[in-house]
Amino acid sequence: GAVVSQHPSRVICKSGTSVKIECRSLDFQATTMFWYRQFPKQSLMLMATSNEGSKATYEQGVEKDKFLINHASLTLSTLTVTSAHPEDSSFYICSARDGPDGQYFGPGTRLTVT
Amino acid sequence: QKEVEQDPGPLSVPEGAIVSLNCTYSNSAFQYFMWYRQYSRKGPELLMYTYSSGNKEDGRFTAQVDKSSKYISLFIRDSQPSDSATYLCAMWGNTNAGKSTFGDGTTLTVKP
């Protein structure tokens, strides 16, 4: 299957700082990438859909100025959590679609804001 | 009401048992159906996908889709402790901007 990488896998930052998470499709080109958030023992929550070369589409309730998404190329999307606060601590997972039959996930990034 | 309903479990079975995981859905536009496995603190891993109705088998795993009943299943034969994980069903159609709709996941524990 297709491979999606995510970096970093874990990050700890201080409150008020910004954190950037990278998501790459390694062996396919992804016109559409997705960013999810997941709290412990809870289901995936879609934050936004990212299309290459255009603005991301955010789900209702997700602050687009706080969670900046850039899909600069067909293999790279980035999520920047701006002015992070402890309540932003979570597991962030990106996903990329490789045609109609495959949506592949990265390994996730665990963000801890102190 | 959610578009995709999945029994959250938890489900606990002895090693070697046959496991049945199920999802129901309400959107008749869904055409692609997927099952993911997620281990704790990891991203979901695509196990199987099925287009439209029918069965698909891959080793110990069998996916079934019944579009007339809006019901999909994943069967795991000869379950192993390594199968212990959360299983997510997902589905999408050609609309909705390519977004998949996920079930909330069923947590499975296979006891040795």
Q: What is the pLDDT of residue A31?
A: 80
Strands B32-38, A10-13: pairing is unpaired
B32 and A110 within 8 Å at the Cβ level: the answer is no
Q: How far is A3 from chain B (nearest CA, A)?
A: 10
Q: What is the pLDDT of residue A33?
A: 93
Best B23, B33, B42 residue to mutate vs chain A (most A CBs within 10 Å): B42
B99 and A105 within 8 Å at the Cβ level: the answer is no
- Show residues of chain B in contact with A46, CB under 8 Å: 99
Decide: residue B70, CB within 10 A, 0-12 exposed, 13-18 middle, 19+ buried. Answer: middle
With beta carbons less than 8 A apart as the criterion, state whether B31 and B93 touch.
yes
List, for residues A5-60, the tens digit of each pLDDT value.
999 999 999 999 999 999 999 998 888 899 999 998 888 999 999 888 888 999 99
**What is the C-alpha separation between A40 and A36, in angstroms, rounded?**
13
The pLDDT-based confidence of B96 (bands split at 50, 70, 90) is low
Q: What is the pLDDT of residue A53?
A: 81
Q: How far is B16 from chain A (nearest CA, A)?
A: 26
